[in-house]
Amino acid sequence: MRYNQLGKSDLRVSEIGLGCMSIKYLGQGKKIIQKALDYGVNFFDTADLYDKGVNEEIVGKVLKEKRQDVIIATKVGNQWRDDGSGWEWNPTKSYIKSAVHQSLRRLQTDYIDLYQLHGGTIDDPMDETIQAFEELKTEGLIRAYGISSIRHNVIDAYLQKSNFTTNMMQYSLLDRRPEEWALDVLAKAEKSVVVRGALAKGLLASKAARAYLDHSEEEVQKVKDLLKEKSTAEIHTGHLALKYVLRHPAVGTIALGTSSAEQLEESLKDFAQSKTISLDDIAAQIKASKYTAHRLR
């Protein structure tokens, strides 16, 4: 496993991390997380939103004895309603500074390595949001903080106003919107991207083709066929899709989602040893969508 520094922080993370959202119960979590550890994964991403905090509890229980060896990332900003019927967006300083203590309790730790804002718009009270994160750093409750946005105006505002370390973005061969602007801008600013959706919900691995974003089922199948032509005994289509995302210098890690240890092993087995194969010719044949809303004026 290769490891990358996140931004200017002292966090070094495995290039493939584990996105823990699909973990629903402790036994499943133990199997998946142990398999990840076996392959050198040290980055584990969760959120207080997932299963109303239960996901954080599972991650915390499983990683408790490995705490010094792992990087734990979680997210804040989505506040569950008291009746549990849904959640409201709440990026206020008071909420963030209260919610962090609940995440710390559930994760059974006294610090969070990477605390991420779980969304956001240009109309948020950014100054107080940033102040909350900076105070949490000063207090030693978090080591670094990040945002989660594909919105150009939001990313630009945080670049101007804050010292964030990471931005979580959806990015894959089937969703190349970050290539238009965000990846190069973030790399220049020495920020790291945490990628989600690198396998496009499994479509770039073993799942059958179906429509995805503005790609038709036929277009998705064409991409799968092109990847298959490039695959070898040592590097399968999922490997190729992951390596395509990792080739950009802005990308620090992929938060790879999975629902089973077997599925995770399929993605990680032989991955570090497999060579990177250029997919520029494939990318040139894929419709490169642009993010049309929330652009810089």
Do residues 76 and 116 touch, judged by C-beta distance below 8 A? yes
3-state secondary structure (DSSP) of residue 5: strand
Tell me the one-letter amino acid at 270.
D
Q: What is the four-CA torsion angle of 56, 123, 186, 199, rounded to 10 degrees?
A: 50
Rounded Cα distance between 256 and 252, Å, is: 13
> Which one, of 265, 266, 215, lies nearest residue 237 by Cα?
266
Decide if 50 is catalytic.
yes
What residues contact residue 59 under an 8 Å CB cut-off, 6+ apart? Answer: 20, 23, 29, 33, 44, 46, 72, 107
Rounded Cα distance between 290 and 282, Å, is: 18
- The pairing of strands 251-257 and 16-19 is parallel
Residue 260, class by beta-carbon neighbours within 10 Å (0-12 exposed, 13-18 middle, 19+ buried)?
A: middle
Among 50, 115, 158, 171, the one annotated catalytic: 50
Count of other CB atoms within 10 angstroms of residue 108: 15
CA 119 to chain centre: 12
DSSP string, 218-252: HHHHHHHHHHHHH--SSS-HHHHHHHHHHTSTTEE
CA 52 to chain centre: 19
- The pairing of strands 192-196 and 251-257 is parallel
Catalytic residues: 50
